[in-house]
Amino acid sequence: MESETLGEAPGQAGDAELQGAVNQHVFTEPVRWRRANVLLLRRHEYYRKMMPTVIDKMKFDSIHDLARAYEITATFSADGKARVVWKLKKD
């Protein structure tokens, strides 16, 4: 997924699991320079959402924690512009 910014991760608007979830924390960290103009970043996003839970045939709402992890590659051109590619990391 390509983007021009490090704002919202591409594809989140269509992520059904995140519908109604509240963003609790976003953490982006540099990992390493792959080349002089290519930086690898790692991003962690944590969410909370009220969801129905069933235990012993009893249904109630409870808080569920959700997380997303991304690998982001930022490539900087000679004119200073950046191209950002996001990759959702699956467990």
Q: How far apart are CA 83 and CA 61, in angstroms?
A: 42
- How far is residue 65 from each of residues 18, 24, 48, 62, measured CA to CA in Å? 10, 9, 5, 10
Q: What is the pLDDT of residue 80?
A: 86
Q: What is the pLDDT of residues 7-56, one digit of tens each?
A: 788 888 888 999 999 999 999 999 999 999 999 999 999 999 998 888 89
Ranges of each domain in the chain: 2-89
